[in-house]
Amino acid sequence: MSKRRTHSSIDRLPAELRDALTRMLVDNEYPADFKGDISGTPKYEDLVAYCGQKGHTVSLSAIGRFGSRMRTLSRMKEAGVITREVMADLNNEKASQTQKAVAEMITAVAIEFVSGRDGMDAEEIRDVAKAMKDCTSIAISSDKYVREQVTKKAQSADKAISDIAAKKNIDPETLRLIREQVYGIVK
Tell me: the pLDDT tens digits for 151-170?
888 788 778 878 887 888 88
Query: Do residues 69 and 18 lie in contact, with contact meaning Cβ atoms separated by under 8 Å?
Result: no
Reported as a single tens digit per residue, the pLDDT across 54-100 is 999 999 999 988 888 777 777 777 766 766 666 665 555 555 666 66
The length of the chain in residues reads: 187
Contacts for 62 with CB less than 8 Å, ≥ 6 apart: 8, 9, 10
Name the residue ranges covered by the structural domains of the chain.
Answer: 8-58
% of the chain at pLDDT higher than 90: 17
The type of residue at 17 is L
